[in-house]
Amino acid sequence: MGISADVKIPLEEENILLLPDPKDASEVISRLSSLLERKGYVKKSFCEAVLERELSLPTGLELEGKVHAAIPHADVEHVNTPSVALAVLSKPVVFRCMVEPEKELPVRLVFLLAMNEPKKQIELLQQVATILQDAALLDKLIASNSEREVMEALGIEV
């Protein structure tokens, strides 16, 4: 499925973070949220809503290889503009698994999803799912040394 060229998630270079030494999942979510908030894509309430949702409905996803991911998100009322912020972590942080919350996953890729029209945005989620199912692409993302390299790996025009 080498279709990274078709990936068109609403991700901007400024909304990518490469974090060498993240403390925990909450720190990653907070930092990603503030990027989207600065652009006006999400409301002030977004970050808190995502953190709270993560406690009862975690979003960690166990993938095929060694790299695991999480897709934290919140209810639509906290979002102004559909957008994505992405953190690439040099050291994993723990997210609990969506389908088995008692299971803790070491996560290296965090896609913070801001969605405001659920039915229309399955496309966004489908594109994220396509990325998650492309092992070669995940390796490239993890090995990226700059935000620009992440954009190039995803095939997004900058």
Partner 1 sequence: MNQQRIKRILVACGTAIATSTLVAVLIKEEMAKRGIQVETRQCKATEVPSYSQDVDLIVSTTPVPTNLGKPVIQTLAFLTGVGKEDVLNQIEKILKEV
Which residues are near partner 1 by CB under 8 A?
A: 53, 57, 61-64, 71, 73, 75-76, 97-101, 113, 115, 118-119, 121-122, 124-126, 128-129, 132-133
- Pick 101 or 155: Cβ nearer partner 1: 101
Amino acid at 156: I
> In whole angstroms, how far apart are CA 35 and each of 12, 58, 83?
10, 21, 11
In the block, residue with structure tokens 């060229």: 5
Supply the minimum distance, in Å, between the C-beta of residue 82 and partner 1. 11
Report the distance separating Cα 142 and Cα 74, nearest Å: 25
Supply the minimum distance, in Å, between the C-beta of residue 122 and partner 1. 5
Supply the minimum distance, in Å, between the C-beta of residue 78 and partner 1. 12
Report residue 8 as tokens.
């068109």
Supply the minimum distance, in Å, between the C-beta of residue 97 and partner 1. 8
Report the distance separating Cα 43 and Cα 81, nearest Å: 10
Q: What is the DSSP letter of 98?
A: S
Report the distance separating Cα 97 and Cα 99, nearest Å: 6
Q: What is the DSSP letter of 38?
A: H
Supply the minimum distance, in Å, between the C-beta of residue 116 and partner 1. 10
- Pick 22 or 72: Cβ nearer partner 1: 72
- Pick 94 or 129: Cβ nearer partner 1: 129
- Pick 42 or 61: Cβ nearer partner 1: 61
- Pick 73 or 147: Cβ nearer partner 1: 73
Report the distance separating Cα 53 and Cα 49, nearest Å: 6
